[in-house]
Amino acid sequence: MIHEYLPTQAELAYTFAGRDPVGEIKPGQVWQIWTEDCFNGAVTSVDTLPTAVCQFPFLNPVTGPFHVDAAEPGDILAVHFAAMRPARDWGVSSTFPHFGALTSTHATATLQPALEERVWLYHLDPDAEVVNYQARNSDFTLAMPMAPMLGTVGVAPAGSEVRSTITAGAHGGNMDTPELRAGTTLYLPVAVPGALLGLGDGHARQGHGEASGVAVETAMHTTLAVDVIKNTPLATPRLESRTAIMSVGLARPLEDAYRIAHHDLVMWVTELTGLDTLDAYQLVAQAGQASIGNVCDPNYCVVAKLPKPCLPNRDVYGAVHKGLEDLTARALSEGT
Amino acid sequence: MIHEYLPTQAELAYTFAGRDPVGEIKPGQVWQIWTEDCFNGAVTSVDTLPTAVCQFPFLNPVTGPFHVDAAEPGDILAVHFAAMRPARDWGVSSTFPHFGALTSTHATATLQPALEERVWLYHLDPDAEVVNYQARNSDFTLAMPMAPMLGTVGVAPAGSEVRSTITAGAHGGNMDTPELRAGTTLYLPVAVPGALLGLGDGHARQGHGEASGVAVETAMHTTLAVDVIKNTPLATPRLESRTAIMSVGLARPLEDAYRIAHHDLVMWVTELTGLDTLDAYQLVAQAGQASIGNVCDPNYCVVAKLPKPCLPNRDVYGAVHKGLEDLTARALSEGT
Amino acid sequence: MIHEYLPTQAELAYTFAGRDPVGEIKPGQVWQIWTEDCFNGAVTSVDTLPTAVCQFPFLNPVTGPFHVDAAEPGDILAVHFAAMRPARDWGVSSTFPHFGALTSTHATATLQPALEERVWLYHLDPDAEVVNYQARNSDFTLAMPMAPMLGTVGVAPAGSEVRSTITAGAHGGNMDTPELRAGTTLYLPVAVPGALLGLGDGHARQGHGEASGVAVETAMHTTLAVDVIKNTPLATPRLESRTAIMSVGLARPLEDAYRIAHHDLVMWVTELTGLDTLDAYQLVAQAGQASIGNVCDPNYCVVAKLPKPCLPNRDVYGAVHKGLEDLTARALSEGT
Amino acid sequence: MIHEYLPTQAELAYTFAGRDPVGEIKPGQVWQIWTEDCFNGAVTSVDTLPTAVCQFPFLNPVTGPFHVDAAEPGDILAVHFAAMRPARDWGVSSTFPHFGALTSTHATATLQPALEERVWLYHLDPDAEVVNYQARNSDFTLAMPMAPMLGTVGVAPAGSEVRSTITAGAHGGNMDTPELRAGTTLYLPVAVPGALLGLGDGHARQGHGEASGVAVETAMHTTLAVDVIKNTPLATPRLESRTAIMSVGLARPLEDAYRIAHHDLVMWVTELTGLDTLDAYQLVAQAGQASIGNVCDPNYCVVAKLPKPCLPNRDVYGAVHKGLEDLTARALSEGT
């Protein structure tokens, strides 16, 4: 059985923490959850500029928060993403004033004029598994592989903070990494009772770094299940797939995102292998992969990845990833 | 008449927003407010390590928040600091694990061992106006000029966020700039009704950049008055003294803090002088001064400063600074 | 016919420019060139510390420079790498004092003690195409895929500069990207008559970012051919493979390396597709890939990559890549 | 007696190292040396755009190099600046395409249009000791204090490198700090026999950070004398005045310039005081000052400064600063 949750517009959240839960998710359940796109679904044509229809702070809505009964401060919340499917046959992207990697921003502030604000609509073809790019100023078109992901998944932050869904940190949030795709388990540190999970910002696909600040944004159906790892500290979000373990670094400048991710991965490897710190550093330095998430959000994102064949013991966190994979696979094969 | 507020330990706050006000401050009133040091007053000897007596998130307490009745979203809150006086005859500093400019941190993460955690106690001599440094591993002593300042002053952030008092941003917060001293007016953008002003983190003195992550921390008596500038946008905190106007940049990397501060100052100068953007840029580029606040906090701080003699029209914000200076001077000359 | 060049130790170079050529390479020729490892071959056991046997500036030697007769300032030198094969059955890696991504350095200077200097020897098995990791403080071993690459390839810099082979810039140099592998053509801007090509710093494999500062270093046999693209400006090195075009960004902080690479790739795409700048930006933002080269050298490296299927016209630089690929394939099939 | 050197245009240098000396300076001699402005004196009106009359790499010329006979690798060259006097009654500033702190650059590359290139001419009044700013698009004028300094002073770099005079590093170069003014002694590490001193890039004044990328540029008469401190390592340039010791940090990002400067100053303080590292760190953290040089050049500049009253023993480098101060004072009082 798959539980479903489809929020109304009014039920969407724009912060992590600071709101009452919209529901309860229990370990052992499988849920299909609908999320709106980062523009609240308001940018529906190339003539609709985001700045005309979106008003700070009502950007990047997440669905939730969901209370996870078993989750208490000091635990890890494991969220397994079994499936992600665009909920519309179109996606949208844009340039956005003072946002993106190749423009000045409010932080990298310059005196130049802003880039033109321009919108692109993409036709999404789930059968062909492509997203169709159409240039605005020529008849150039290109079919790109569909590669659904969620840009924003997080829980309530530590220290009684309430954070905008635009930001990312130890609590997750707007990480904007293509690694957060179906088949992956995300590990987040629980800071408040019930964890308060929220998710949104679906991308039909995204380049590395989200260079223009905006991916192919779309509403999304996400199938997920959760579990709780008791009394286990976690410094920064982690990911696990069938083939790799990953640590997520979120910071500016970008080298600090790289450092956080790789430091965490080295420490994780020492735990999983018994190697001492320098031997684990050496292993990660030669076998490690790095994947750039975003270079546009308040905190940039780098993911440090180690292929599982590097690990003699692949029983990470008591095989919670495998358990959730199996659970959701059974539910999906049974259907709703 | 000077109103006074002396909080109990339990009344201290560790976030901006997220709490009920502890009182109301009205324009026209003068207040003397007591603030605790960044360690909650718990580090009282060189043998008391901060990590032994302080527990995240109970660090860097602020007094408040105070509700300012006239302040509404879209206004600017002007806070004039008429006097700052250490409330104890001692101050304390330390190294702190993974905090400071010359150590690895959780963000600039390295695999080296942490620096030794060491505490220094300073005798504060208000008559001589000095703070006395005593080396820990030799009999070297040095009397340095006392130069009281507040590290942390802020209001509720925009977008329904609640932020730790360790952080800084458009709402102010842990800016840690020595420019925030007596004689200065701080301008902050109001994001919620009543603004919700909090202040704390007094320093008997601080070097530029707060290199070790910790200044000469002390409880402080601060005399202040507030005013409200209606319907005036403000992108980042600003300061005004008798001799200069200043814009505060808060970001990582440090060059973005520099850019934010100087961009804002250039824009401010265009408003005050009628110069076009490039002419104002040129003026700031040759006459401007820059002052490094902190290079250790979650957001680094650079202050861009222009001496008032550069401005033909010195009637900034309707001379609110002069008005508050006069108001507090009268109250201080009358005493409490 | 394949020309060969095997330098003596005394013929190795430690700068780009500043030396007479060791030979002439002509377009149409195929060369096999031997390069020494970054430690001058001096670190031959785990008990030989690099700092004991290597002395600045005699690190990271390159073979060359080679004069390319047809190359004149304003041209592009195309260097196609047809094959790379370790010249020894062992490689070596290490930590290095104050060098690497997860340690303080002379630039990210901290007061902590340096990391332990430790050496790892790898057995290279060309038949199995693996490099064998052996932990130093346990019996953990791991066979990783062999993935030969050159860390350092460059020409004489512009502006009469002479640069250490440790550095990278518009002239190429110590880019340390795994993208510089067999099958790739590297484009470099010619600044002096003859270009003065040098190459070295072979890696049997390297993780993304070269986290420890040192890859699996080894002497290398490289088979290459060159061509000259006349009167064509080039702002930063570019790469081409059978499947992708790539721009190389070299800078600190790491986001500037990302920006340089992606800015250049967007501009290149406008030339190859006729898209206007924003349409090309959008294409790169969604279809682009980013690959981290190094996060340890004087200039960090990010490579921006666009798969060739995104380009309707794949005739880059008059198909020089294909020409060199064919030329070297013929030579390799004929043997020496 | 004061020796004089006035180069022809053809004798100017655009690199550190890579050229034969133009003369010999001996310890004990006092020299007055003329330097051209950063535009080769070619921008003489507001209608002359720098990009129209200046061609890379022929920018930022230095006078020299001068051979200092006693200076050998491993020594420190001490250069005392006794007087700096603009050699013209005008100075010039500008915006420059893709150069400056508040514009995108070739490194912080964006897709926005470049800022307008605009020139400002300043009248220099040596009697009133002011430089006169005249806005371009209004009749706003402002007299600012004259504050002469040299932007660029350096020696041949280590490792056989030849560096453009635009860059800065351990060898000095284009540091662009207002601390390099008359009354200051600059310490540079000698890397080649004779040191090969060059100087130029005079500024009638400069704001902190050189925000627009260009100060009030002018030809300059500089009176200086040199001395050599034998066999003394130096990691980064240092400065000494009558009132302070200073370490110069040159790097990107700006926090690394801060770190280099403060790390070096802490180490210097341990040598001068006998304090252990952490006690010296604490002293610098509370008593230290930081001064931003440039936030526009290839390496940004932060100067860490400690007032001499903090040092019980002020006999820095055997009082070479005082010796040079006395030597030049005598020569200046005698005249040429």
DSSP class per residue in D17-36: SSS--SEE--TT-EEEEEE-
Contact B278, D115 (CB under 8 A): yes
CA distance B89 to B74: 41
Helix-strand-coil percent breakdown of chain D, rounded to 5? 20, 35, 45
Residues of A with CB under 8 A from a CB of D: 102-104, 108-115, 253
Q: Tell me if A140 and C115 make a contact (CB, 8 A cut-off).
A: no
Query: Where along chain D do its domains lie?
Result: 2-234+317-334
ipTM: 0.98
D177: pLDDT strictly greater than 90: yes
Give the single-character DSSP code of D129: T
Confidence of residue A97 (pLDDT cuts 50, 70, 90): confident
Q: Tell me if A114 and D112 make a contact (CB, 8 A cut-off).
A: yes
How close A91 comes to chain B (CA, Å)? 26
- Cα separations (Å) of D199 from C2, D26, D53, D155, D240? 50, 16, 22, 9, 18
Contacts of residue A161, Cβ cutoff 8 Å, sequence gap at least 6: A17, B15, B18, B161, B162, B163, B164
How close C285 comes to chain A (CA, Å)? 5
Contacts of residue B8, Cβ cutoff 8 Å, sequence gap at least 6: none
CA distance B303 to B260: 9
Best residue of A20, A98, A108 to probe chain B, by most B CBs closer than 10 Å: A108
Contact B168, B298 (CB under 8 A): yes
Best residue of D140, D255, D286 to probe chain B, by most B CBs closer than 10 Å: D286
Residue of chain C minimizing CA distance to A280: C135
In this structure, what token pair is assigned to residue D180? 């390099």
Q: Tell me if B161 and A159 make a contact (CB, 8 A cut-off).
A: no
CA distance A33 to A199: 9
Q: Give residue-wise pLDDT tens across range B237-253.
A: 999 999 999 999 999 99
How close C105 comes to chain A (CA, Å)? 13
Residue of chain C minimizing CA distance to B107: C102
pLDDT of residue B10: 95
In this structure, which CATH number among 3.40.50.1970, 2.60.120.580, 1.50.10.150, 1.10.10.10 belongs to the domain A2-236+315-334? 2.60.120.580
DSSP letter for each residue of A113-161 = PPPPP-EEEEEEETTTTEEEEE-SSS--EEEEE---EEEEEE-PPSTT-
Residues of B with CB under 8 A from a CB of A: 14-15, 17-18, 56-57, 106-111, 158-164, 235, 251-253, 256, 259-260, 262-264, 266, 277-278, 281
Residues of B with CB under 8 A from a CB of C: 102-104, 108-115, 253
A9: pLDDT strictly greater than 70: yes
pLDDT of residue C336: 54
Contact D87, D44 (CB under 8 A): no
What number of C-beta contacts closer than 8 Å exist between C and D?
91
Give the single-character DSSP code of D74: T
In this structure, what token pair is assigned to residue C64? 């060359």
- Residue D88, judged by CB atoms within 10 A of its CB (0-12, 13-18, 19+), counts as middle
What sign does the CA torsion over C202, C203, C209, C213 have?
A: negative
> Strands D244-251 and D289-292, how do they pair?
unpaired
CA distance C176 to C199: 12
Contact list in A for residue B111 (CB cut-off 8 A) is 263, 266, 277-278, 281
Q: Tell me if D273 and B137 make a contact (CB, 8 A cut-off).
A: no
Give the single-character DSSP code of B282: H
CA distance A176 to A207: 10
Question: How distant is the alpha carbon of residue A92 from its chain centre?
Answer: 18
pLDDT of residue C97: 87
In this structure, what token pair is assigned to residue D32? 């007055």
Q: Tell me if D263 and C111 make a contact (CB, 8 A cut-off).
A: yes
State the average pLDDT over residues A124-153: 97
Contacts of residue A64, Cβ cutoff 8 Å, sequence gap at least 6: A13, A21, A22, A23, A196, A197, A198, A199
- Which of B107, B160, B278 is the closest to A162 by Cβ? B160
pLDDT of residue D336: 54
State the average pLDDT over residues A181-196: 98
How close D285 comes to chain B (CA, Å)? 5
Give the single-character DSSP code of B202: E
Share the mean pLDDT of chain B. Answer: 97
Share the mean pLDDT of chain A. Answer: 97
Question: How distant is the alpha carbon of residue B111 from its chain centre?
Answer: 33
How close A277 comes to chain C (CA, Å)? 10
Best residue of C203, C208, C295 to probe chain A, by most A CBs closer than 10 Å: C208
How close A259 comes to chain B (CA, Å)? 5
**Cβ atoms within 10 Å, residue D30:** 24
Q: Give residue-wise pLDDT tens across range A318-329.
A: 999 999 999 999
**Cβ atoms within 10 Å, residue B117:** 15
Contact B63, B36 (CB under 8 A): yes
Confidence of residue D97 (pLDDT cuts 50, 70, 90): confident
Helix-strand-coil percent breakdown of chain C, rounded to 5? 20, 35, 45
CATH class of B2-234+316-334: mainly beta
CA distance A108 to A105: 5
A335: pLDDT strictly greater than 80: no
In this structure, what token pair is assigned to residue A124? 């999404």
Residue of chain A minimizing CA distance to C287: A207
Residue of chain B minimizing CA distance to D274: B138
Crossing angle for the helix pair D277-287 and D254-273, to the nearest 10 degrees: 120
Helix-strand-coil percent breakdown of chain A, rounded to 5? 20, 35, 45
- Chains near A with 3+ CB pairs less than 8 A apart are B, C, D
Contact C195, C77 (CB under 8 A): yes
**CA within 13 Å, CB half, B192:** 22
Q: Is A301 helix (H, G, I), strand (E, B) or coil?
A: strand
- Cα separations (Å) of B188 from B31, B74, C195? 18, 10, 57
Contact A153, A198 (CB under 8 A): yes
Confidence of residue A122 (pLDDT cuts 50, 70, 90): very high
pLDDT of residue B334: 87
Helix then strand count (H, E) for chain A reads 4, 22
How close D253 comes to chain A (CA, Å)? 8
- Cα separations (Å) of D272 from B208, D233, D266, D310, D325? 21, 15, 10, 10, 21
Q: Tell me if D281 and B209 make a contact (CB, 8 A cut-off).
A: no
Q: Residues in chain C with pLDDT < 50?
A: none
- As a whole number of angstroms, the longest Cα–Cα distance in chain A is 58
Per CATH, the number for C2-235+315-334 is 2.60.120.580
Q: Which residues pair with D23 in a beta bridge?
A: D66
Contacts of residue D163, Cβ cutoff 8 Å, sequence gap at least 6: C161, D15, D16, D17, D154, D157, D169, D171, D173
pLDDT of residue C42: 97
Residues of A with CB under 8 A from a CB of B: 14-15, 17-18, 56-57, 106-111, 158-164, 235, 251-253, 256, 259-260, 262-264, 266, 277-278, 281
| CA–CA–CA angle A304, A310, A314 (5° rounding) | 95
Q: Is B199 helix (H, G, I), strand (E, B) or coil?
A: strand
Look-up of token digits 């605790």: B36
Nearest Cα residue to C12 out of C56, C67, C63, C66? C63
CA distance B287 to D205: 8
Contact list in D for residue C158 (CB cut-off 8 A) is 56-57
In this structure, what token pair is assigned to residue B188? 């902050």
CA distance D229 to D78: 7
Residues of C with CB under 8 A from a CB of B: 102-104, 108-115, 253
Give the single-character DSSP code of D49: -
| CA–CA–CA angle D232, D233, D239 (5° rounding) | 90
> Strands D2-5 and C244-251, how do they pair?
unpaired
CA distance D11 to C220: 45
Q: Tell me if D111 and A103 make a contact (CB, 8 A cut-off).
A: yes
Q: Residue A189 is which amino acid?
A: P
Look-up of token digits 């201080």: B332
Q: Tell me if B114 and C111 make a contact (CB, 8 A cut-off).
A: no
CA distance B70 to B76: 10
| CA–CA–CA angle D140, D141, D143 (5° rounding) | 155
Q: Tell me if D159 and C164 make a contact (CB, 8 A cut-off).
A: yes
- Chains near D with 3+ CB pairs less than 8 A apart are A, B, C
Contact list in C for residue D15 (CB cut-off 8 A) is 159-161
CA distance A153 to A172: 6
Contact C194, C67 (CB under 8 A): yes
Bond preceding residue D145 cis, omega within 30 of 0: no
Q: Give residue-wise pLDDT tens across range D203-260.
A: 999 999 999 999 999 999 999 999 999 999 999 999 999 999 999 999 999 999 999 9
Q: Give residue-wise pLDDT tens across range A260-308.
A: 999 999 999 999 999 999 999 999 999 999 999 999 999 999 999 999 9
Per CATH, the number for D2-234+317-334 is 2.60.120.580
